[in-house]
Amino acid sequence: MARFEKRGPRSPITQSIRVDKVHPRARVLRRLIAILSLLVALIMLLPVFVMGISAFKTRADVMSSPPKILFRPTLEGFMLLFTDRAVVSQARQEELQQEARAGKLTLFARLALEAGMEITGPSAYVFRLWNSVIIAGISTVASVVLGLFAAYAFSRFKVPGKDDLLFFILSTRMLPAVVVTIPLFLMYRQLGLHDKHLGMIILYTVFNLSFSVWLLKGFIDEIPKEYEEAALVDGYTRLQAFFRVVLPQAASGVAATTVFCLIFAWNEYAFALMLTSQRARTAPPSIATMMGRGGIEWSAIAAGSLGFLIPVVIVTFALRKYLLRGITFGAIRG
Amino acid sequence: MATIELQKVEKKFGELHAVKPLDLTIGDGEFVVLLGPSGCGKTTTLRMISGLETVTGGRILLNGSEVTWKHPSERDMAFVFQFYALYSHLSVRQNIAFPLQAQGMKREAVDKRVNEVVEILRIRPLLRQRPGKLSGGDQQRVALARALVRRPAAFLMDEPLGALDAELRESMRAEIKNLHLAQHATTVYVTHDQIEAMAMGDRIVVMSEAEVQQVGTPVEVYNNPANLFVARFIGSPGMNLVKGRLSGGAVRTAAGGSYEVPAPWRQPLAECLDAQGELTLGFRPEAARVTPDGSLAGEVYASEMHGGHTVLHVNIGAGEIVHIRSDRQSAYPMGTAVRFAVDPEMARFFNPRTGAAVRREADG
């Protein structure tokens, strides 16, 4: 600009003063930052990678040092994870081998046979994974739905003591899990909610609610009030306006909140460990307890962890269209 | 088609009076403009008519029946918002059809109605697009279509042109006025732009500080402002207001000028003013004429060329500036001493303490 001013507008502009061209030094800096963040990402992803390949290794390959990058993949880990097995006699083994040759055995049964074992049924882990799906799924839906209504009320109506209430809701999030587990344990024992699906669903819903109310309120605040007002004068009731106008506008916020709530409920470990034992036990504590029994089946643990990641990855992937906007926490208006 | 009647309608937000008790009757097919600076209560008034805001007191009647406490959806009024409030997740066609779906109208009937308004507003090519992709003018046309498609009893518009640029605003102004004339629908229109109000309104309701200052046709409001606020607010520039004192049948200004009070005003002025005879003389820029034998004098402070005419800013002493419209196209150099006369027909007088205009018998 300085050059431009000095010579005045009539002298020909020989040098570009456009700002959309980036200075070479800035370009190098940008590239450096990119490389650096890529490196950090790689380091962060290394354990996930190790877990991923370990899930497909045989018992021997897992333990080998230095770790093998190239190996023959096997589903042995998954077989160990998903089934209960029993050692079988020589006679029964031969019988099974014949069945295997006839192609009657499943993949897992054949893998078990190689170790001289027969599958007796699905393992407890299968039920626990199912428990995780039920508890995390229902509590996520509940906390997002309840949070959405609460957030809408806080955003649009005059609620007496609004700020105090909002702070109270936030404060429920401030206690670390460890502090409340003992009283919760005692309460749940008395109420008969210990080791019950309902108990865990209520707990996770309450825990996620504070988060979802705050997050969704931010998104709803961003939606201009006129949208609903237009619907109201156009002949819709408040509830219809909410479903037909507010909800579609808040889609990205709802998606982001859903993913965050799901990740919390799905990954939660401390409460699940304390408040469940058999019937309602979820997957995270059971993966950990697998380490205890006899020899450690590293490939089974890796397989369990890998399988455990998949539902969250699927949901996140399915909602990614909305997430990209949602993850900026409503900073950018769509 | 409807008449709207406001009876002592008021609104308080806590201790703050947003709208002081207001009486207004809007006739069938009338285009009424609520005009005032921001924060004067005009939008609140409109929102109370629509039902989006509850009233603190008073009654609202639609076609003679009370709707004061009815839900907005039961009032059969369409509202056009300043920022259009178009749903970005719906196409233009779906946006226009949206209010009809609330009535549970059949698909064919909806299509027929949508097609009608689309023709009127000439937005057929836009039907499939998303509103976010449209220009401001087109968005406003879609918003108008959404209001029009319902055939409501009344249209309520809250600064619908406020977000458009000047050129577009002018053409949309004509478009809305035309639409109103064709539909003959009762319309209440809120704006802070007095040019818009003058150009569009059948009647103008001038508001300030939560109170109605004057209700009248554009000509009435322009020629006979009810008080100093209206005199200043209407017109660009507003009415010239010169403080003075009545003595011996003439107005003596602070700077020593003198203006003989026209005959029809002598009696009413004598009745209205107190012993000191303080008054404010008001005249429009076009009511003054630069002439060597004018009774008022000053020197040119600035001269603005407006194309067909020039507006002179004349300092008449003591820092009082008046605007005078001159048909001469050449500029007056700064500091030129000028004399000017005010058309006796166009002179107005105000009581400076109450701000109220002095009325002649002829004005009613």
A20 pLDDT tier (thresholds 50, 70, 90): low
pLDDT tens readout for residues B71-82: 998 898 999 998
Residues of A with CB under 8 A from a CB of B: 224, 226-227, 229-237, 240, 245, 248-249, 251, 334
Q: What would the two tokens of residue A281 be?
A: 């036990």
A14 pLDDT tier (thresholds 50, 70, 90): low
Q: What would the two tokens of residue A278 be?
A: 């058999």
- Asked if B85 and A233 come within 8 Å (Cβ–Cβ), the reply is no
pLDDT tens readout for residues A81-95: 888 888 888 888 888
Tell me, yes or no, whether B209 and B296 share the same domain.
Answer: no
Choose between B4 and A104: higher pLDDT.
B4
Give CA–CA dist B220/B81, Å, rounded: 29
Residues 133-152 of chain B whose Cβ lies under 8 A from any Cβ of chain A: 146, 150
Q: What residues make up the domain containing B253?
A: 238-363
Give the chain B residue whose CA is nearest to the CA of A228. B85
Give CA–CA dist B333/B46, Å, rounded: 48
Query: Tell me, what's the pLDDT at A1?
Result: 41
Kindly state the average pLDDT of the residues A3-27.
Answer: 60
Tell me, yes or no, whether B93 and B17 share the same domain.
Answer: yes
Cis peptide before B99 (omega within 30 of 0): no
Q: Torsions phi, psi of B292, nearest 5?
A: -65, -25
Query: Tell me, what's the pLDDT at A334?
Result: 37
pLDDT tens readout for residues A141-158: 999 999 999 999 999 998
Tell me, yes or no, whether A113 and A252 share the same domain.
Answer: no
Percent of chain B with pLDDT over 90: 52
Q: What is the CA radius of gyration of chain B?
A: 24
Residues 182-211 of chain B whose Cβ lies under 8 A from any Cβ of chain A: none
Which residue among B187, B215, B231 closes a domain? B231
Query: Tell me, what's the pLDDT at A10?
Result: 53
pLDDT at B207 over 80: yes
Tell me, yes or no, whether B223 and B283 share the same domain.
Answer: no
Tell me, yes or no, whether A287 and A194 share the same domain.
Answer: yes
- Pick A230's closest partner by Cβ from B71, B79, B103: B79
| Amino acid letter for position A320 | R
Query: Tell me, what's the pLDDT at A81?
Result: 85
Kindly state the average pLDDT of the residues B162-177.
Answer: 86
pLDDT tens readout for residues A179-209: 888 899 999 999 999 999 999 999 999 999 9
Q: How far is CA A155 from CA A219, A244, B14, in A?
A: 9, 17, 20
Tell me, yes or no, whether B251 and B200 share the same domain.
Answer: no
Kindly state the average pLDDT of the residues B360-364.
Answer: 60
Q: What is the CATH number of the domain that holds B322?
A: 2.40.50.140
Number of domains present in the structure of chain B: 2
Which residues from chain B sit within 8 angstroms of residue A234, using beta carbons?
73, 78, 98-99, 102, 146, 150
- Asked if B102 and A230 come within 8 Å (Cβ–Cβ), the reply is no
- Asked if A229 and B79 come within 8 Å (Cβ–Cβ), the reply is yes
**Nearest alpha-carbon partner for A167 in A180, A184, A154, A153:** A154
Query: Tell me, what's the pLDDT at B122?
Result: 86
Q: What residues make up the domain containing A103?
A: 74-122
- Pick B52's closest partner by Cβ from A232, A245, A248: A232
CB pairs under 8 A between A and B: 58
Cβ atoms of residues B227 and B357 within 8 Å:
yes
Give CA–CA dist B172/B187, Å, rounded: 16
**Nearest alpha-carbon partner for A265 in A165, A141, A153:** A141
Tell me, yes or no, whether B88 and B226 share the same domain.
Answer: yes
Number of domains present in the structure of chain A: 3
Query: Tell me, what's the pLDDT at A330?
Result: 43
Kindly state the average pLDDT of the residues B169-186.
Answer: 88
Choose between B10 and B84: higher pLDDT.
B10
pLDDT tens readout for residues B85-121: 899 889 999 999 999 998 888 999 999 999 999 988 8
Give CA–CA dist B304/B296, Å, rounded: 20
CA distance B79 to chain A (A): 7
A291 pLDDT tier (thresholds 50, 70, 90): low
Give CA–CA dist A137/A200, Å, rounded: 11
B265 pLDDT tier (thresholds 50, 70, 90): confident
pLDDT tens readout for residues A314-328: 888 888 877 766 555
**Nearest alpha-carbon partner for B80 in B167, B168, B12, B180:** B180
Which run of H or of E encompasses A90? Answer: helix A90-101
pLDDT at A3 over 50: no
A332 pLDDT tier (thresholds 50, 70, 90): very low
Query: Tell me, what's the pLDDT at A326?
Result: 56
> What is the ipTM metric for this complex?
0.80
B81 to chain A, any CB pair closer than 8 A? The answer is yes
Tell me, yes or no, whether A29 and A86 share the same domain.
Answer: no
Q: What is the CATH number of the domain that holds B23?
A: 3.40.50.300
- Pick A235's closest partner by Cβ from B50, B87, B102: B102
Choose between B59 and A121: higher pLDDT.
B59
Tell me, yes or no, whether B242 and B219 share the same domain.
Answer: no
pLDDT tens readout for residues B247-260: 878 888 877 788 88
pLDDT tens readout for residues B126-168: 999 999 888 888 898 899 999 999 889 999 999 998 888 888 8
Query: Tell me, what's the pLDDT at B253?
Result: 85
Which residue among B207, B231, B255 closes a domain? B231
Which residue among B216, B231, B246 closes a domain? B231
Tell me, yes or no, whether A108 and A208 share the same domain.
Answer: no
Give CA–CA dist A92/A117, Å, rounded: 10
Lowest mean pLDDT among A263-272, B114-123, B256-265: B256-265
Choose between B238 and B308: higher pLDDT.
B238
B113 to chain A, any CB pair closer than 8 A? The answer is no
Tell me, yes or no, whether B205 and B290 share the same domain.
Answer: no
Which residues from chain B sit within 8 angstroms of residue A224, using beta carbons?
83, 85
pLDDT mean across residues, chain B: 89
Cβ atoms of residues B145 and B117 within 8 Å:
yes
A96 pLDDT tier (thresholds 50, 70, 90): confident
